[in-house]
Structure 1
Amino acid sequence: MSETQSNVAEFSVSEISFSIKRTMEDAFGYVRVRGELGRISRPGSGHIYLDLKDDRSVLSGVIWRGAASKLKIQPEQGLEVIATGKITTFPGQSKYQMVIDSLEPAGAGALMALLEERKKKLAAEGLFAEERKRPLPPLPSVIGVVTSPTGAVIRDILHRITDRFPLHVLVWPVRVQGETSGAEVANGIRGFNALQPGGPIPRPDVLIVARGGGSIEDLWGFNEEAVVRAAADSQIPLISAVGHETDWTLIDLAADLRAPTPTGAAEFAVPVKAELMAMVDDRSRRLNSGLVRFVTSRRTELRAASAALPAPQDLLALPRQKFDTLASSLERALIVSTRTHRTHYQNFAGRLSPLLLSRLSTKARQDLVQASERKQRALQVAVSQKRHAFEALAVRLTPARLAQQTTLGTERLSGLGDRLDRAYLARLSQEKARLDGLQKLLKSLSYKDVLARGYAVVRDDSGQPVRSAAAIASGAALAIELADGTVDAVALSDSAGPKPAKVKKPATGKGPATSQGSLF
């Protein structure tokens, strides 16, 4: 079998793939594509891979690392954007894709939708809560400003601070517009917070984040999550002064205070020095005047109180006179007391001679010896008596005697147990006979036996027995109790007298007892 001959040109896989690549790049050299961002991937290489999609198709895209660092906005899933770049192919997988050079939101509506979604997310985390906000210090010594060092904003802030109250201002230079502005502002806020009090660089008492007005795209860096979280985490009170009075960003909600303009932020941060000095002078004058009035009033009260007091010499006159009297009598009293005590001493000294003391000591020693001998004899007698009593008890407490007593006690206990059993049975028999007699008496007195002989009990609607036919009214409901059950009845009567009761229905499942006549 021969091979089929053909004039169709043959290509290698690489040749056809690169031919298609050149064709697509020539046809779509530079395009702008509008779509919604879908899948977004950021590998460690720094490139960004994403999908652009609409309601019918998906276009793969890639942003190389160099272009990704220059983007005005960062790609987020669900954001509608306009991507600018070129269409090319990836021969390694036979797929086409768009190499994106720049991204911009597809109108202000897309940015506002993204902004509102981010606002709800951060508010749910509590970053905008009022209880997180801190009051501004009344008179800061150092102010930190995060803004561009070359714009008019910093000049306005410095000019207003100099006019109101000149103090130390630290500027953290950042870019306030562009793809890196958000990260730089967040780093500036965190950098000021990282300064240690008392360090070589003074730590600010209040921070101002400022920028002039602009469009929503120009101010977008202040809506990034990193900036909002840095403002919410700041331990230093922070004033947001981004844009004009009508502009607002997410950092305004996270800041401790929002100023309508950068100049207004400077006014919030520092008071007017002249006003403070005037206030201090006024309060100093009021303090001095109050002190003068207070001292004058106390001096007047002191003079009035001192006028009512007696003279010091008058207060001491009577005690001095009493002291002189006692001093004069003290000497005589001491002499008399000394003579009295000498007499007493001489009397006792005559009685306490050495011979008398020796006799008393000898007699006391003899009394002590005699008492000791009597105690010793008494102790010997008591011990002898206790020994005899113990020996008598020991004779009586032999093992055989104990065994005999135990045997007698056991036999006695057994006899008492038998007597108890016999008494219990006899008492039980007596009580049973008594109970049987009471039961027979109760049965003989019960009306149930009367009912069994063919009689009946008629009761009214309250359950009470009817004792007289005259007590029954016409139409009264009655209950007739028979031996085998109860039936309901209604009383009938006319001018001739009462008639038999009419049975309504049986009260039991045995049927009406129609064989029983009326008691009336």
Structure 2
Amino acid sequence: MRAAADSTIPLISAVGHETDTTLIDHAADRRAPTPTAAAEMAVPVRLDLLTWLRTQDGYMTRAIEQAVRQRGQRLGDLSRALPRPDSLLDTPRQRLDRLVLQLGPALRHATQHRRGQLDRLSANLTPALDRAVAAKRLALGRASAGLTPARLDTTLRSRHERLAMIASRLDPLRLSDRHAAARARLTDLAARFDRGRAAETRRRHERLASLVRLHDTLGYEATLRRGYAVVRDGDAVLTLKAQAETRPSVEIEFADGRLAVTPTGAGPRGPARRTPQKPPPPDQGSLF
């Protein structure tokens, strides 16, 4: 009764015959008169299910056909409301025909207009070119008239005077003074360079000495001088006792040199402990 009442699964009671009533009938969700009736309640009849499915399929088919028929009717109504394709193209076709007819006269008019502009510009350009050529020819004639032998002699004489003036400025004494001043400046620069080079060399030497001291402090040689040693096997450094035990010979580096040794394993072991022997069992003697 309690299990039936606490069950979360729907429960059908089918105990006894149709006229019998048990306590579980009051706790169950559904009462069946017989077990066969309970099975029919729990599992519907296959024919009933097929009939229900066919009914639902008929409903769905009729609904789809009606929806398609309504959509087709709506589409037909909308298509009748649309204009014909020919009527849509009539107006653009007429406008294109008018433009084609107007294109020929428009091109001829534009060509005539451009030709008139070109004629006017060419008529104005010819006198201007003639005047420019005449002005250039007049300027050239004036320049050629000015190139006389007397004018050339005057120009050559002025150039000679200018050259003599420049040569007079090149006095040997003045050049010697400039040379001496330049030499003094060069000597001063050389002395300053030597002082700077010496100071830089001294600074570099001090820096190098500081780095050498730092290297000596951080190097393992300083550690060796404090009493430590380095165990080597050729170029390899051994840091574990197990590594040294597997080598036939190793080399120990001290602060003053290296020493070759042969590992002998662990230190001497103490005497092996003897296992105490158990005393023999007492002899009970023979009973016969």
Verify same fold: TM over 0.5.
no
Higher strand share: 1
TM-score (structure 1 length as normaliser): 0.23
Higher helix share: 2
